[in-house]
Chains A and B, each alone.
Chain A
Amino acid sequence: MAALWVAGVGRKSLTVVASGAPRREFWSRLRKEKQPVVAETVEEVKKEPILVCPPLRSQAYIPPKDLQSRLESHVKEVFGSSVPTSWQEISLEDVHMKFSFLARLADDLGHAVPNSRLHQMCRCWRRLLRVPWTAERSNQSILKEISPEYSLEGLMLKLKLQYFGHLCEELTHLKRP
């Protein structure tokens, strides 16, 4: 009898699948009292702690007076014992170190380096102390020291051979089908 009743229920749900309203009415008859109360309290309790937006921060940034000491402490935290003579001349070439240092600094000061200026924060930090977040461009002077070591003739030969190879490959590739 239970099996027949289940089969009956199953048939009814199958026939009613296409139309949503009779299905909803059918099931709502079974648990009208329970569902609305439970769902509402559950939703109210769960919504509040998550989707609350923190208060808007002000865009004005005033560097604190103890900026130097804060920078020094962060440098020591991140770089530890591998700090050279003056902590102001650390190099931020390593991406991991750079990220950890700048993230800690941003969390501490409440102001982060914008994306457009991140690539300029690489070497000397004295300018950071004088005028925060308006770093001067001096990368070219550093990069002038790097002299590329390759010959133009070798490069030309390499390009010619590459083109020849490319032509042969593409033409044979075309001919096959």
Chain B
Amino acid sequence: MQQLVRAGARAWLRPRGCRGLSALTEEAVQSAEKPEPLANAGPQAPVLRRCELPVPLHRRPVQAWVESLRGYEQERVGLTELHPDVFSTAPRLDILHQVAIWQKNFKRISYAKTKTRAEVRGGGRKPWQQKGSGRARHGSIRSPIWRGGGVAHGPRGPTSYYYMLPMKVRVQGLKVALTVKLAQDDLHIVDSLELPTTDPQYLMELARYRRWGDSVLFVDLEHEDMPQNVVAATSGLKTFNLIPAIGLNVHSMLKHQTLVLTLPTVAFLEEKLLWHDSRYTPLYPFRLPYRDFP
């Protein structure tokens, strides 16, 4: 009975690291021999993805390697096709600039406020008579030319810098950012964000080995479905960040040197971004239900 209790306690209190490491040995053995039955092994079952959405007749899809984060050397697990209107659109740097500046400014509220001559305490009485005293004529001691007086054209109250760019411009900004990332070899597609350990050092060494750069942005599809290992690893690192697909934005893409997308994220982004190319003008706001809204 005591042995049973002890065994139960041991199982309950075993640290997470041990369980992860035991799974690691199994994976190491499997990856060393490469007989993995899953669809993300090397030469046996390459992960191939075709572009589901219709591609314009005059364009061909762009392609990218599908990599894996499970091992250091799993760099070519498959090949994916990317829609050219999302990943190979015109490099509109002006739109990128517009969207980046908009992202920076539309949330800005400056709270600076100064007092005018009317608000500064005092200054209601004429300091000396108009004529005869020999001094310059003044009407109040708080006018802007006086020391301690009010500010003439200073900031007045909380100012909002809110403005909205048209939805299509913001969508085009995302497409241009993705295009630029792919064209400069800073985009990497990954089959899924599963890591063998929760150790942040593993991610850093992987990025160093694959020459990804100092900062990496990982994008998964849904917040709830993110694997625990990658959540723990990225929470321990400052320059390696993890966001859901709806959180993708131009500023983050430009700030991080490398962008890592999963295959479901690519499908999601293509669907959402391409819908705006061929949609009708809204008859009512998009926040109300539409039949064909993706």
Residue ranges of A at the interface with B (Cβ–Cβ < 8 Å): 2, 5-6, 9, 24, 27, 30-31, 35, 39, 42-43, 46-47, 49-51, 53-54, 56-57, 59, 95-96, 98-100, 102-103, 106-107, 112, 114-116, 118-119, 122, 139, 143, 146, 148, 163, 166-167, 169-171, 173-174
Q: How far is the CB of B193 from chain A (nearest CB, A)?
A: 18
Q: How far is the CB of B191 from chain A (nearest CB, A)?
A: 13
5 residue pairs from A and B, CB less than 8 Å apart: A31-B10, A46-B22, A51-B199, A56-B209, A98-B63
In the A-B complex, the 7 residue pairs with the closest CB atoms: A99-B79, A118-B63, A53-B205, A115-B64, A46-B21, A119-B62, A114-B185
Assess whether A27 is in contact with B9, with CB atoms less than 8 Å apart.
yes
Assess whether A30 is in contact with B6, with CB atoms less than 8 Å apart.
yes
Return chain B residues, CB-CB under 8 Å to A30: 6, 9
The stretch from B69-77, B131-139, B151-159 touching chain A is B69-77
Return chain A residues, CB-CB under 8 Å to B43: 100, 103
The stretch from B111-119, B265-273, B283-291 touching chain A is B283-291
Residue in contact with A59 in the complex, picked from B10, B60, B189, B211, CB distance below 8 Å: B211
Return chain A residues, CB-CB under 8 Å to B165: none
B57 at the interface (CB under 8 A from A): yes
The distance in angstroms between the C-alpha atoms of A95 and B81, with both chains bound, is: 9
B24 at the interface (CB under 8 A from A): yes
The distance in angstroms between the C-alpha atoms of A87 and B65, with both chains bound, is: 24
The distance in angstroms between the C-alpha atoms of A94 and B286, with both chains bound, is: 40
Task: Considering the complex, give the chain B residue whose CB is closest to the CB of A171.
Answer: B283
Return chain B residues, CB-CB under 8 Å to A24: 13
Assess whether B28 is in contact with A49, with CB atoms less than 8 Å apart.
yes
Return chain B residues, CB-CB under 8 Å to A46: 21-22, 24-25
Return chain B residues, CB-CB under 8 Å to A114: 185
Return chain B residues, CB-CB under 8 Å to A100: 43, 46
Assess whether A54 is in contact with B209, with CB atoms less than 8 Å apart.
yes
Return chain B residues, CB-CB under 8 Å to A173: 289, 291
Residue in contact with B182 in the complex, picked from A27, A98, A103, A115, CB distance below 8 Å: A115
Which secondary structure characterizes the binding site on chain A?
helix
Residue in contact with B79 in the complex, picked from A98, A166, A169, A174, CB distance below 8 Å: A98
Assess whether B17 is in contact with A43, with CB atoms less than 8 Å apart.
yes
Contact with A along B177-221 (1 / 0, CB 8 A): 000001111011100000011010110011011010000000000
Return chain B residues, CB-CB under 8 Å to A98: 63, 79
Q: How far is the CB of B6 from chain A (nearest CB, A)?
A: 6
Task: Considering the complex, give the chain A residue whose CB is closest to the CB of B25.
Answer: A46
The distance in angstroms between the C-alpha atoms of A51 and B284, with both chains bound, is: 55
The distance in angstroms between the C-alpha atoms of A99 and B183, with both chains bound, is: 20
**Known interface pairs A51-B202, A99-B78; A39-B60 also in contact (CB < 8 Å):** no
B238 at the interface (CB under 8 A from A): no
Q: How far is the CB of A93 from chain B (nearest CB, A)?
A: 10
Task: Considering the complex, give the chain B residue whose CB is closest to the CB of A24.
Answer: B13
The distance in angstroms between the C-alpha atoms of A173 and B21, with both chains bound, is: 55
Assess whether A50 is in contact with B9, with CB atoms less than 8 Å apart.
no
The distance in angstroms between the C-alpha atoms of A98 and B81, with both chains bound, is: 12
Return chain B residues, CB-CB under 8 Å to A112: 65, 75-76
